[in-house]
Amino acid sequence: MAFLFRNKQKSHPELVKSTKELTVRLSEDAKPNPKVEEELARDLQQMKIRLQGTPGTALLSLTAPAHPPIVLQAAKAPGADGSAEAEVNTESVFQLLSYIIQEDLLYLLANNIHKLPFESRKDAQVIFSTAFRYKPAGASDPQVLHHVIQYRPEIIIALCRGYDRRESAMPCGGVLREALKYDSIAALLLYDEPTSDGKTRDLASVNPDIPSSGQGVFWRFFDWIDKGAFEVSADAFNTFRDILTKHKALVAAYLQTNFDMFFSKYNNVLIQSESYVTKRQSIKLLGEILLDRANYSVMTQYVDSGEHLKIIMKLLRDDRRMINYEGFHVFKVFVANPNKSIAVQRILISNREKLLRFLPGFLDDRTEDEQFIDEKSFLIRQIEQLPPAPVPPQAAS
């Protein structure tokens, strides 16, 4: 069969149409249908190749650019600006993408990615990534992504919901993190709210001063991180981190508006998670968020709270060393703060003796970590110099 098909190539519209039909059938069938799966897998693979070229052709045309001998951890794409796309016909890619948009295939795929066969999920991921990356020659705007943000934000939300299932978590996560280069995607996720008609809110209608209801897709991340298999949870955390760290101004404003809800969830679900990985990663991320300049006002608000300090001080006594270590980097912010709140001062003063006994031996095998040693002795000095009784902070009004 496949033999006969080889010569008879489907045209772009035919390919998109047939992919769409098959995906609809797949989503409707309760039982897995091997025949539909097989045909769909072929279509998706074909679509991927048309968008991206095949490894063979790509390699043949590959000329080794002169790279400086430096070690990069990430893959290096020579010509991410589109020039490397030379061997696939840009005109043809544009046409294919237009049909894909026209048929709303991306939305359908995003919702059914977990039902696709194993290899097709990866093909779908490539199709999404290539589509989202696509820029017409000379344009700085990713055209397809632009369209999605403006007219079909549901696709982005549907991709997030990929974390509901192990099968779809990683392809969806990969696409999301790539799209999160753009702040509008982060905004879309942060300000998502459930609506009566099931449609995703238009970004233009968002008022950043109104606190979130806590029902939007962003808040689901706490569940996805805390529950589920290691891969899902770890991947969801990576996306969560990207949302919170990639676009600083946006996030700073968001965290200020939603301070209480965010930190109560963060503390209860993540910092005090049963899962070691979640706990450790989230303490580290907390430190990163607080120490970011852009989040200065969030940080001051955070370190004013005695409750937060208690949670962090308990981490110092955890019986897992890396938890202690990550906790230390949040604890230091409380102590180093020159304008400590009364609540924070009270806790530190009533624990002064204990802290002074505890800190010198705290993680004392980290002998090669000079920054840590310096910071530790700085904290000890600060605690020694605490006043005997809490004094109102100067900045307090």
Partner 1 sequence: MAEGYQVLEELGSGSFGKVYKAIEKATGETVAIKLIDLEESTDELADIQAEINLLSTCKSPWVTEYKTSFVKGVKLWIVMEFLGGGSALDLMKPGPFSEAHIAIVCRELLLGLDYLHSTGKIHRDIKAANVLLTDAGKVKLADFGVAAQLTNLKSQRMTFVGTPYWMAPEVIQEAGYDFKADIWSLGITAMELALGQPPLAGSHPMKILFTIPKNPAPRLEGDQWSKDFKDFVAQCLIKDPDRRASAKELLRHRFIQRAGKVEAMRELVERKQMFDAQEETTSHPKYYEETMVDLSPRTEEDEWTFDTVKPATMTPARHTAKRRKMARIPSSDANSCASMMQHLDLNAGPLGNVTDSPLPERRRASSRKSSAGTAIRVSSGSTPTARRISNVPKQPLGLDLTFGNSPSTVRHFKRVSSGERRAALTSNPPPPSNSFHPNPQARTFRPSPPNSAHPLDMEVNNENQPPAPVYPPMPVTKDALYGRRAYGKVLDSVFQEAYADCASPHQREALGRVHQAWAHLDQIDPQGEFLLLKAMMDRLQGDSKLASALGVTVSPAPTPKQHNTKTSETSLSGTTIHGTSTTRIRSNTTNAASSLSKQSADYSATPTQTPFQTPIETPTGTTSASPIKGPKLVLAQNNPHLKSHRRRQSAFVGGEKAFGLDAYGGLDEKKLPGHVEKGMEQQGLLADILYGQWMQGLKSRWPLS
Judged by the rule CB under 8 A, the positions of this chain that interact with partner 1 are 52-56, 58-59, 62-67, 69-73, 75-80, 84, 118-119, 122, 129, 170, 178, 229-231, 234-235, 238, 274-277, 280-281, 306, 310, 313-314, 317-322, 346-347, 350-351, 354
Instruction: Select 25 or 366, whichever has its Cβ closest to partner 1.
Output: 366
Which C-beta is closer to partner 1: that of 125 or that of 258? Answer: 125
Rounded to 5°, angle at Cα 358 from 353 and 362: 155
| Of residues 122 and 201, the one with the C-beta less far from partner 1 | 122
Q: Which is nearer to partner 1, 56 or 388 (CB)?
A: 56
Which C-beta is closer to partner 1: that of 30 or that of 59?
Answer: 59
| Smallest separation (angstroms) from partner 1 to the CB of 342 | 12
194 or 360: CB nearest partner 1: 360
- The answer to whether residues 308 and 283 touch, using CB atoms and an 8 Å cutoff, is no
Q: Closest distance between partner 1 and the C-beta of residue 224, in Å?
A: 15
Q: Least distance to partner 1 from the beta carbon of 298, Å?
A: 24
What is the rounded distance in angstroms from the CA atom of residue 191 to the CA atom of residue 184? 10
Alpha-carbon distance values, 162 to 29, 58, 292 (Å): 19, 30, 30
Looking at the Cβ atoms of 82 and 208, the one nearer to partner 1 is 82
Q: Which residues contact 263 (CB under 8 A, 6 or more apart)?
A: 302, 308
DSSP labels, 85-116: GGGS-HHHHHHHHHHHHHTTHHHHHHHHGGGS
Shortest Cβ distance from residue 280 to partner 1 (Å)?
A: 7
Residue closer to partner 1 by CB (options 252, 285) is 285
Q: How far is the CB of 55 from partner 1 (least distance, A)?
A: 6
| Least distance between partner 1 and beta carbon 297 (Å) | 26
| Placement of tokens 């999605």 in the chain | 148
Classified as helix, coil or strand, 61 is coil
92, 112, 77, 86: which is closest to 47 by C-alpha?
Answer: 92
Closest CB 249 distance from partner 1, rounded Å: 26
> Could you give the count of Cα atoms lying within 13 Å of 127 in the half-sphere of its Cβ?
29
Distance, in Å, from the CA atom of 147 to the CA atom of 192, rounded to the nearest integer, reads 18
Closest CA to 187 of 254, 107, 264: 254
- Residue corresponding to tokens 């800190």: 359
The count of C-alpha atoms lying within 13 angstroms of the C-alpha of 69, restricted to the half-sphere facing its C-beta, is: 0
Q: How far is the CB of 77 from partner 1 (least distance, A)?
A: 5
Give the amino acid at 99. Answer: Y
Given a contact cutoff of 8 angstroms between Cβ atoms, the answer to whether 323 and 275 are in contact is no
**Least distance to partner 1 from the beta carbon of 111, Å?**
21
CA angle 270, 286, 155 (to 5 degrees): 70
**Which structure tokens are listed for 286?**
């907390």
Closer to partner 1 by Cβ: residue 203 or 322:
322
